[in-house]
Amino acid sequence: MDKDIATPIRTRTILEKYGFSFKKSLGQNFLIDTNILNRIVDHAHLTESSGAIEIGPGIGALTEQLARRSKKVVAFEIDQRLLPILAETLAPYSNTKVIHQDVLKADVAEVIQAEFEGMDDIMVVANLPYYVTTPIIMKLLEEKLPIRGIVCMLQAEVADRISAKPGTKDYGSLSIAVQYYTEAETVMNVPRTVFVPQPNVDSAVIRLTVRKEPPVKVKSEEFFFQVTKSSFAQRRKTILNNLTSQLPGGKEKKEQILAALNEANVDPGRRGETLSIQEYAQLSDALYPHFQ
């Protein structure tokens, strides 16, 4: 068994050997605690026939744990300086592949087809760079990839927003968007002390299990998301005010918006964060004919 990458001493040795310096712009924080890494992988429920996709492998600490517990790992790394390091640290694991690409620009569906042929259980497991967490998660979900789900480390505050319930201060359009595609749960909190360099925010791990069917059926997904985003534009405003000011031509269509709210049994004086995903579905379907 090779020595784990994720120990403070081994991490420091590798970084010194390559003269690596952390780039703030890439949100690089490397994990140096094997127990935490193992627990993250536990939450993904991988088997020997699973494929794993990682984003931002760093020096391979999580990649190594994934490689030991899955059939194959494909990792997207944007920072060219890490490629020679990964080539060395992952040398013992022939079931790993590093793709030098920004995952936001990558054709992930094509990569899955090429790299995980014949595998029907695929999980994304990643310690995501905090500055691009939301765009990465939304890209993976909106592209409706053939994945079972996502287990990722992110800023605790974002994890709270993703798994929030209606009527709470964290609940917003992000909660609805992610919960439309997945069942979301925060599975663990992670202290700052297990990273180098230490981030100045708290971290958490969430598990998103992709739903076979969305919890609601809507006439137009695109319009449904437009309505939810508009409803949270200014949290202190009522849903009527937000929809009137945010939907295209909303000011001229105030009567129609009122009629749609009435049809969906939503009091126009309510605030966006009090509506459930079911209420948003009814409301967006009632509004849809007026905004075509």
Beta bridge partners of 184: 208
Q: According to the annotation, is 127 in a ligand binding site? A: yes
- CB contact burial 213-237 (16+ within 10 A = b; e otherwise): eeebebeeeebbbbbbbbbbeeeeb
Mapped onto helix, strand or coil, the DSSP state of residue 122 is strand
Burial 76-112 (b: 16+ CB within 10 A, else e): bbbbeebeebbeebbeebeebebeeeebeeeebeebb
- Residue 77 assigned to a binding site: yes
Please state, in angstroms and rounded to a whole number, the distance separating the CA atoms of residues 264 and 267: 9
The amino acid sitting at 270 is: R
For residues 176 and 65, give the distance between their C-alpha atoms in angstroms, rounded to a whole number. 32
Query: Is 121 annotated in some ligand binding site?
Result: no
Could you tell me the two tokens for 88? 């060395």
Q: Is residue 200 a known part of a binding site?
A: no
31 is annotated as contributing to ligand binding: yes
- Bridging pattern class, strands 30-31 and 51-55: unpaired
Tell whether residue 29 is among the known ligand binding residues: yes
Which residue ranges make up the annotated binding site for S-adenosyl-L-methionine? 29, 31, 56, 77, 102, 127
Which residue ranges make up the annotated binding site? 29, 31, 56, 77, 102, 127
